[in-house]
Amino acid sequence: MKFPKFLLLLGALALSSCSEILPSSQPGEDPSSQGNGNSSLVTGNGSQSGDQTGGHSSEGATVTPAPLEDGIGPILHCWNWSLKNIEDRLPSIKAAGYTAIQTSPLQPQKDFYAGGYWKNEWWKLYQPLGFEIATSNNSLGTKDDLSSMIEEAHGLGIKVIVDVVTNHLAGGSGESFNGAVRNYEPEIYDQDLIHKGVGTVNDNDVQRLVQGHLGDYPDLKTDSPVVQDAVISLLKEYLDLGVDGFRFDAAKHIETSHDGEYASDYWENVLGTAQEYAASLGQEVYIYGEILNTPGKGREISWYSDLMDVTDTVASWDILDAAQSGRADMLASPTISGYDGLLAGQSVYWAESHDTYANDGWGTRDVNQRTIDQAYAVASTRGGKSLYFARPGDSSLGEVGTDDWEGKAIRSVNSFASHYGSYPKEYSGDMSSYAATVYAEDETAVLLVDFKATYLSANLGLPDGEYYDEVSGRTFTSFNGLLGGELDPSGIAYLHGGSNGGAATPLSIGITPAPEGTFRGPIEVTVTETGATAASYSIDDGSPVSFDGSATFTLGGYEDATHSVRLEASNAEGSLSKTYTYVFASDDDNPYLQKVINLPSEQTEGRVLAAWVWGGPAGERFVKGILADGTFSFYTEEGDTHFTLASFPGGTDSFSWDDKISQSADIALDSSRVYDASGWSWR
């Protein structure tokens, strides 16, 4: 199935190019495509951005992009995920190689209702009631939730981009506000700062493009200082929390300073002030705007791209078209931009977006995940930002849907993109096989996608030799330029010289269970790291304990207490650290908590104690417990009748009677649940 490259909005039931659509809306007309195609090209080199040259091919100069100069490479679009769910998955996001996450809008939303099916609810997030971070009335969380998530993300080296809606507010109709807007923006509401009498948006008419309304919600007078100040206030509020970037929804529907009688200083004022404010906080802010399809008749993409990065939706559709049709030759050109003069380094590419997935009739929901992943792999090599849309599946609003975003092939794609993003690349296409090749520092690395085959045989012009594939774990051989080998089922390969280990595994740390709420009794805690050359944990500021991969230990006791765990990990690329705080409450009223008091020091010093418990349905077994200040606490289960204590050499973690040092007599369980060991005999 082929899809249109343009999704323009026209007519009384126009869709929102910003993301907003009522479930009953229908798409508008679709003007002819302006995609470049390049179907006659079978090889190319380079990518657009800057004026530095270099590279391997002698046929022409490659131009080095710098997509990671601001620390942002692959971005995970956590669409509709609650802030809590994002925070919980940050270690996995880091391990999957994403450098940033993008949230859905977090402003107070129209018709707030938490927990509904995403398809019926998502569009409400794009009809905000005001310009502030929600403290209520948002299905994804609150300002406090955002602050917590940002702290966790920054601890892992992940940047946070927030989707902001500033073109419009929630409507009662296309030319009137929803009454609840007054609760948040009384000045805008009372002055009725919206455009009227213009009609719906239309790309072929400048006034309707920048002043027309999108669906049943009014277009703001963004030339008004009142509106601009409200937007700036929102951006400053986000920056104060540490937000690293913004996606401006419906950017092309907000006028520029080049729009003649409809022009304003909105972008210069809003973006300039945000950037200056970020600098005053010692921060940098990344900004990109949503430009769906054309920037509009008679308008130039540079009017936006000179001020911020933009979505290159035309090129993104071209990439998806190539993946669906199996036409690797369509992607061999050094450039794929859908807009004249737009550099790759100014672009955000995607295989699909929430618009193309969620809006009825717009086209990618029925595209299989394998094809989407292949298109994303191509997009990640083209010198701009690459945005991976996490499909919602059958989830409710706020929940995480499918887990394809962390698949093995996508991890390798992200690793290639992050490691080689700033290197010159040569692009080639042979039949259904696409390759982006890097020749850097005496090494060759290739991100390869075959849209059709599972066994690769393609003339990609690589130097002779063997290439290890990070995705399949297999070795490919190139001879006389012909590369052959068995592909992973994804059709994606990340090839490099050597037997293993290309780009470094992204550094990440994590801990389970998460330190949420109050714990009763001791818990088993597991800490993890990936990509580290050194990692350690310390408990309550104690001595660091080194570990590799993961480690598990017991934390807490049965009394009221607070315990901290500090994780540290590092590799050649940098370091991560994070302190987690766990709160424990007394469990004295638990009917299965037993305590042995007044234990003699000769039975405890340098030893580990365990209880041998029996008599109930759980059977005979050793039970771990906690020894503190001469008291040993442990849990039994319903039906248990007796126990005996046994001591073992210090450091023992698993128990066997063969290792026993001493044991007490048999003790019958009683209702007091407290047993005085001062007079016990031991053998």
CATH class of 75-289: alpha beta
> CB–CB of 502/494 below 8 Å?
yes
**Is the model's pLDDT at 25 over the cut of 70?**
no
DSSP strand E in 168-308: where? 171-173, 176-177, 245-248, 286-289
CA gap 167, 613 in Å, rounded? 67
pLDDT band at 441 (very low <50, low <70, confident <90, very high): low
Q: Which amino acid is at 60?
A: G
> CB–CB of 444/463 below 8 Å?
yes
Interhelix angle 408-420/369-379, rounded to 10 degrees, is 10
Q: Which amino acid is at 432?
A: S
pLDDT band at 77 (very low <50, low <70, confident <90, very high): very high
Rounded to a whole number of angstroms, the CA Rg of the chain reads: 30
CA gap 382, 143 in Å, rounded? 35
In this predicted structure, what is the pLDDT of residue 121? 87
Higher pLDDT, 39 or 566: 566
- Residue 240: which H helix or E strand, with range? helix 225-241
In this predicted structure, what is the pLDDT of residue 289? 98
Q: Among 103, 90, 91, which Cα is nearest to 138's? A: 103
**Is the model's pLDDT at 250 over the cut of 50?**
yes
CA gap 683, 681 in Å, rounded? 7
> CB–CB of 622/653 below 8 Å?
no
In this predicted structure, what is the pLDDT of residue 114? 66
CA gap 49, 347 in Å, rounded? 10
In this predicted structure, what is the pLDDT of residue 573? 67
CA gap 211, 256 in Å, rounded? 12
**pLDDT tens digits along 658-669:** 999 999 999 999
- Give the torsion sign (CA, 148, 149, 154, 155): positive
**pLDDT tens digits along 511-556:** 888 787 788 888 889 898 877 889 999 999 999 999 988 898 889 8
Over residues 293-321, mean pLDDT = 96
CATH number of 593-676: 2.60.40
Q: What superfamily in CATH does domain 508-585 come from?
A: Immunoglobulins (2.60.40.10)
Q: Alpha carbon of 526 to those of 50, 561, 580: distances in Å?
A: 46, 20, 12
Q: Which amino acid is at 213?
A: H
Q: Which amino acid is at 361?
A: G
Higher pLDDT, 418 or 35: 418
513 preceded by a cis bond (ω within 30 of 0): yes
**pLDDT tens digits along 201-242:** 999 999 999 999 998 999 999 999 999 999 999 999 999 999
CA gap 520, 588 in Å, rounded? 9
Backbone angles phi, psi at 535, to 5 degrees: -150, 150
pLDDT band at 95 (very low <50, low <70, confident <90, very high): confident
CA gap 348, 288 in Å, rounded? 8
- Give the torsion sign (CA, 450, 455, 457, 463): positive
**Do 34-66+312-501 and 508-585 show the same overall fold?**
yes
Over residues 373-398, mean pLDDT = 94
Which residue's entry shows tokens 């001020």? 307
Bridge partners (DSSP) of residue 492 are: 449
Q: Are strands 62-63 and 53-54 parallel, antiparallel or unpaired?
A: antiparallel
CA gap 284, 280 in Å, rounded? 10
**Is the model's pLDDT at 113 over the cut of 80?**
no
- Of the given ranges (88-102, 290-304, 418-432), which has the lowest mean pLDDT? 418-432
CA gap 247, 310 in Å, rounded? 9
CATH number of 34-66+312-501: 2.60.40.1180
Q: What percent of the chain has pLDDT over 90?
A: 62
pTM of the model: 0.71
Q: Among 383, 483, 496, 482, which Cα is nearest to 62's? A: 383
67 preceded by a cis bond (ω within 30 of 0): no
> CB–CB of 585/518 below 8 Å?
yes
CA gap 102, 249 in Å, rounded? 12
Q: Among 184, 179, 207, 98, which Cα is nearest to 138's? A: 184
Which residue's entry shows tokens 């007519």? 11
In this predicted structure, what is the pLDDT of residue 652? 80
Burial class (CB in 10 A: 0-12, 13-18, 19+), 197: exposed
In this predicted structure, what is the pLDDT of residue 144? 95
In this predicted structure, what is the pLDDT of residue 521? 80
**pLDDT tens digits along 484-493:** 889 999 999 9
Q: What does 524-563 look like in DSSP terms, one character per residue?
A: EEEEEEES-SEEEEEETT---EE-SSEEEEEE--SSSEEE
Bridge partners (DSSP) of residue 484 are: 457, 477
Task: Domain ranges for the chain, please list them.
Answer: 34-66+312-501, 75-289, 508-585, 593-676
Over residues 294-323, mean pLDDT = 96
In this predicted structure, what is the pLDDT of residue 501? 42
Tokens representing residue 385 in the block: 């930002």
Higher pLDDT, 249 or 34: 249
CA gap 639, 632 in Å, rounded? 21
The neighbour count for residue 511, using CB atoms within 10 Å, is 17
CA gap 297, 210 in Å, rounded? 12
Tokens representing residue 676 in the block: 């005085």
